[in-house]
Amino acid sequence: MRGVGAACPFCAIEPGRVFLDEPLVRGLWDAFPVSPGHALLVTRRHVASWFDATPAEQAALLDAISAARAEIEARHQPEGYNVGFNAGEVAGQTVFHLHMHVIPRYAGDNPEPRGGIRAVIPGQGPYG
């Protein structure tokens, strides 16, 4: 499996980045945040994508979103969030260990935020 063990940045996490430590999922601060408070929710088991995870792992990731939000809001005052994952290289996945992004959003961080994730494909966002 691609990137297992020492080669995988989510299999060996520095303890100072971890804010949530659950049986199936860890929460950690992104090493390259796109906004203040950018968090990652990572499966403990090395599995490539959402579609390879067990139903229990998927449920644990979804449950952890609220915990990540609470940790973010204890430190920052975001006004919105983008939450999601990239599944596959053509979708932008670069680390092939399942992880979900919880990205706080702030007024003015994007001059035209309408369309949200639709903007990942050129010409698809914003829309009217």
Out of 38, 46, 97, 99, the active site residue is: 99
The DSSP result for 39-88, as a single string, is EEEEESS--SSGGGS-HHHHHHHHHHHHHHHHHHHHH---SEEEEE---S
d(CA 121, CA 117): 8
46 is catalytic: no
Catalytic residue annotation: 99
